[in-house]
Structure formats: C-alpha cells, structure tokens
Amino acid sequence: MTALWLLFLSLGAAGVALCLARAAAGPTTPDRVVGVDGTVTISIALMVLLSSFFDRQIYMDVALVYAVLGFIGVLAVARYMERGV
Amino acid sequence: MIYIAILTVAMLIAGLAAYFFRDLIAAVVACAAVSLIASVLFYLLQAPDVAMAEAAIGAGLTTAIFVIAIRKTGRYEK
Amino acid sequence: MRAFVSFSVLALIVVGLALSLSHVPFGKDRMQVANYYLDHGVADTGATNLVTAVVLNYRALDTLGEVTVLFIASLGLGVFLSWPKKKEGTQEEGKRELPEASLIVRRGSQFLFPLIILFGGYIFLHGHLTPGGGFQGGSVIASAFLLMFLGNNAYRLRHTPLTVTESLAGITFVVVGLIGLGVGGYFLNNFLPKGSMFSLFSAGVIPILYSAIGLKVGAELSGIVANMFESRSER
Amino acid sequence: MTTGNPMMYVGAVGLIMIGLFTVLSKRNLIKIIVGLTLLDTGVNLLLVAIGYIHNRTAPILTQAHADPSKMVDPVPQALVLTAIVIGLGVTALALALAIRVYGHYKTLDTRKIRGLKW
C-alpha cells in the first residue's frame, strides 16, 4: 500500500516538475501560461489524492475551489493577448 | 518528505523567474505559479482553510487585477 | 551604493530570522494558548471547525477590524480611480472598440456565473463545519463577477446594490455584536443555542456572522474588480 | 519526516528574501508590487509553518477525527486567513496608485518620477 502511494505521489511530483520546466523554459509567454495551467490541473489531482492519503474527506473542498476557479487567471491572460480586457 | 523539498525548490525557482522576467505578463504568471505551489504547501501543512483562501485569491483575482493594471500602463519593463 | 544597501539589509534580515528560527524547531509541540482553544472550542462555541471558532468567537473583534481594513482599501481604490473626473462625452468617444470574446467564452461565463455564486454561498454557509468561510466564499463570489467582466464586454455592474449589500452586511455584524452585549454582557457574545454537533443549524450566531462577512467581502472585492475594469481612460 | 524540517523555513525565508530584493532593486512600479505579493506569500507561509506540529491533523472535528489533542495550532491559521484577503486589497490599492502615477508622469520608472528615487 505504501509503495502504491509512493508511486502516485511521485507521478504527481514529476508532472508538476515537467510542467514547471516548460513554464520556465518556454520561449514565448503563451508557453509559460500553458505550463502553469497544466500545473494547476495536476495539483488538483494531487490534492484529491492527498485528501485520501490523510484520510480527511473534507479536504476535498480545496481541490473543488481550484477546479472551479483555476481557469480564470488563464482566461484573463488570454483576453489580454487578444486585446480584449 | 522529499516532495516538500521538490515543491519548495520549484516555488523558489518560480519566484526567481518573477524577478528576472522583463515581460511583466510573464512575471505575473510566475507569481500565479508561486501562489499555486504555496497553496499546495499550505495543504501539506494541514491548513485547508488557508489553502482555500490562497486558492480563491491566487487563482483568479490577483492575476486578473495585475493584467488589468498592465493593460492600462505598459507591458515591458525597461 | 544602492545594491550595497539592499544586500546589507537582506543580510541583516537573514541573520535575524536564522537566529530567531533556530530556537523554533519545525514541527514541535509548543502550543500554550491553543490548547485551551482545542479543548474547550466545541463546548464554548459549537463550531466544529476550530479555525472558525478562533476567527469568530475568541478573536471576533479583530475580524471586525480586518473587515474594516478591507473596506478602507476598497474605498481608497474607488477614490483613486475616479478622482480626476473626465468629461463623460469625450471618454465615450475616445474609447477603443474592444474585440468581443468568442461564443464559447461568452455563453460559458453566463452559464457558470450562477453556479459559482451558489458555490460561494455553500462555502460561507458551511464555514463552521468544513474548511471555508466568509473570506473564501466572498472571494469565490468576486471571482464569479470577474468571470462575467472577462467574458462580456458590455457587462456593467450597478454599484448601488453592491453598496447596499455591503452596508447591510456590516450593520448586521455590528448589530449581532450589540445584541450579544445586551444579552450576555460582552460584545459579540454567542447568545443563540449551540445546537448539536455536525448539523447546519448549530454554533449559535457564527453562521449569521460568517454570512455577513461573506456578503461584505464579496461586495467589496466585486467593487474593486468593477472599478479596475471601468476606468479605461489612461491609454 | 525529519528531512523536510529545515526545508519549509528555507522556502518561506527564501521567498521573503526574493520579494524584498525585488522591492529594493527593481525600478518598475508594477514589478515592485509583484515583489510585495511574493513577500506577502512568504510571510504567510512562515507563520503557518511555525504553527505546524508533526503527525497531527487539521483543527476541524469530524466523526472520524474527534480528538482535539491530535490537531495542529489553529491560531496562526486564523491570522493568516484574514491576512491573505487583506493582501489582495492592499495589492489592488497599490495598483490603482501605479495607474494614477502612469496617468500623470507617462512612465513607471522610479528614476524618472520626481520624489520617488533613492
């Protein structure tokens, strides 16, 4: 069981690291935005996994807030890019 | 916890990126990344209330307010 | 010179923080005040989320002050952004024609708006049972208005209902506190019955106060977002 | 669980240092406000890290977790909770000031704004 948790958390951390590497290296600003947005998605999955790991169902609310609101920042930057803000 | 070390290093790199980027939009996006990783760290420190506040503020409102201010002034730092 | 001063200030702060944090080992039990809160919190307040118990019962007067600070920040932003009054006609003529958002973003924002408002209401109504509360719920509600501003160019927020909501919420907080003063002898006394644990109608006045804070914070942050969007005069 | 000990403090103090160095050395007003936001996040992280206790859970009682002696300190969390929202208000106020400064001087460079250079 511990090995399974280790696998899950390692995959999540690797995903975060890869997305942040794209966000740090990306030559243009849209690359960086997409990298950070991928990080948001993987972090939501990590939070759901951790709520099961800590055995507290109420922690799920934090992941819910991120899932509902996580796209608004990306939307703001996208509207800036098409000169709409 | 090796994961805390990974997340902390990633957060510090994002903060340094926010310092070094000349493009202010990229700096604000790096700031949003710092807020996101700080929210995960609050979660790992057993503070779901604080993590939720950081999520609700850092996900949308801070980025949008900075983007509006950059729209009204200038995009590049000279 | 400037870099030297900056680095010496940073070095001083690093040394000071390192010296003081070396006496505070990470993860050790050093609670003194909080032990009382943890042991007596549920019996005193009825709220099972002890952070809410600290925010709205033991430290409720501080919370009133913090809401006031947020109100002053919102007021100052409104004053700064509307201070040099432009002529209405010239401002309308000089405004650039903004490209409209795509159909998916427009319809999606209109579809998601009531759902996000509902979610914010859920967060601050359940503040005494689950993580969350007035501050988080208010931020979620302000994010819903921000989504409408981003998705629809023609969207305008009427400021009168916002001001009325904010004032009524603030008055509710103070009046509940004063009723507590009259009934129990001190400001913000929890005078309603505590109810049973883990049910929505428990914890006395805490759900009422957190709803008031949620509406007030939501109205203030929505006002900040609306002010930032509506002053399009600089460039 | 012990290897992560200094790492939280290093992260929080490092974030405070990056934010403070941005505030002290950059010359663009928007960049200075970005530095203030980083500083804010670092201070909040430091406060919550001081309140953390090993092998304990969040101070929220449920049917499965009803033992108050197994919970972390709720007081720093309550302080930081309000500080985050007020940080947003302060950031918005500073950005409004920066927009007004730009409207008056047509620049955000602190060297070109009279009375702001040091």
Residue B77 in domain:
no
User: Which pLDDT score is estimated for C80?
Assistant: 84
Cβ-Cβ contacts under 8 Å, B59 against chain A? 40, 65-66, 69-70, 72-73
Q: Is C96 on the interface with B (CB under 8 A)?
A: no
Q: Are C143 and B59 an interchain contact pair (Cβ–Cβ within 8 Å)?
A: yes
Return the number of other C-beta atoms located less than 10 Å from residue D107's C-beta. 16
Count up the domains in chain B and report the number: 1
Which residues pair with residue D71 across a beta bridge? D57
Cβ-Cβ contacts under 8 Å, A57 against chain C? none
User: Which pLDDT score is estimated for D39?
Assistant: 92
pLDDT of residue A32 exceeding 50: yes
Domain enclosing residue B9, as ranges = 2-72
Q: Please, are residues D72 and D59 in contact by the beta-carbon 8 Å criterion?
A: yes
Give the neighbours of chain C: at least 3 Cβ pairs within 8 Å: A, B, D
Q: Which residue has the higher pLDDT, C117 or C91?
A: C117
Token pair listed for B5: 């070390």
Confidence band, pLDDT 50/70/90 cuts, at residue D117? low
DSSP result, D46-81? HHHHHT-BTT-B-SB--SS---GGGB--HHHHHHHH
Cβ-Cβ contacts under 8 Å, C198 against chain D? 62-63
Determine the Cα–Cα distance for residues B6 and B8; give it in Å rounded to an integer: 6
User: Which pLDDT score is estimated for D5?
Assistant: 65
Q: Are B54 and D84 an interchain contact pair (Cβ–Cβ within 8 Å)?
A: yes
Over the stretch C118-146, which tens digit does the pLDDT of each residue have?
Answer: 999 998 888 888 888 888 999 999 999 99
pLDDT of residue B40 exceeding 50: yes
Give the neighbours of chain D: at least 3 Cβ pairs within 8 Å: A, B, C
User: How close does chain A come to D88, measured CA to CA in Å?
Assistant: 15
In chain D the domains, ranked by start, together with CATH numbers, are 5-54+68-105 (1.10.287.3510)
pLDDT of residue C234 exceeding 70: no
pLDDT of residue C115 exceeding 90: yes
ipTM higher than threshold 0.85:
yes
Token pair listed for C151: 């998705």
User: Across chain D, which distance is largest between two alpha carbons, in Å?
Assistant: 62
Q: Please, are residues C138 and C221 in contact by the beta-carbon 8 Å criterion?
A: yes
For the stretch B23-26, contacts whose Cβ atoms lie closer than 8 Å and that sit 24 or more positions apart, written own/partner, are B23/A29, B23/B75, B23/B76, B23/B77, B24/B66, B24/B70, B24/B74, B24/B75, B24/B76, B24/B77, B24/D28, B24/D30, B24/D31, B24/D34, B25/A29, B25/A77, B25/A80, B25/B67, B25/B70, B25/B75, B26/A29, B26/A32
Determine the Cα–Cα distance for residues C43 and C29; give it in Å rounded to an integer: 23
Give residues 194 to 223 of C whose Cβ lies within 8 Å of B: 221
Q: Are C146 and A79 an interchain contact pair (Cβ–Cβ within 8 Å)?
A: no
Instruction: Give the closest of D9, D61, D96 to C21, CB-based.
Output: D9
Nearest CA in chain D to B77: D28
Give residues 45 to 74 of A whose Cβ lies within 8 Å of C: 58-59, 61-62, 64-65, 68-69, 72
Q: Is C146 on the interface with B (CB under 8 A)?
A: yes
Q: Are C136 and B60 an interchain contact pair (Cβ–Cβ within 8 Å)?
A: no
Torsion of CA A74, A76, A78, A79, to 10 degrees: 160
Q: Are B45 and D52 an interchain contact pair (Cβ–Cβ within 8 Å)?
A: yes
Determine the Cα–Cα distance for residues C39 and C201; give it in Å rounded to an integer: 22
User: Which pLDDT score is estimated for A9?
Assistant: 84
Confidence band, pLDDT 50/70/90 cuts, at residue B1? low
Three-state SS for C34-101 is HHHHHHHHHHHHCCCEHHHHHHHHHCHHHHHHHHHHHHHHHHHHHHHHCCCCCCHHHHHHHCCCCCCC
Determine the Cα–Cα distance for residues C91 and C70; give it in Å rounded to an integer: 30
Q: Is C41 on the interface with D (CB under 8 A)?
A: yes
Return the domain boundaries, chain A. 2-81
Nearest CA in chain B to A8: B3
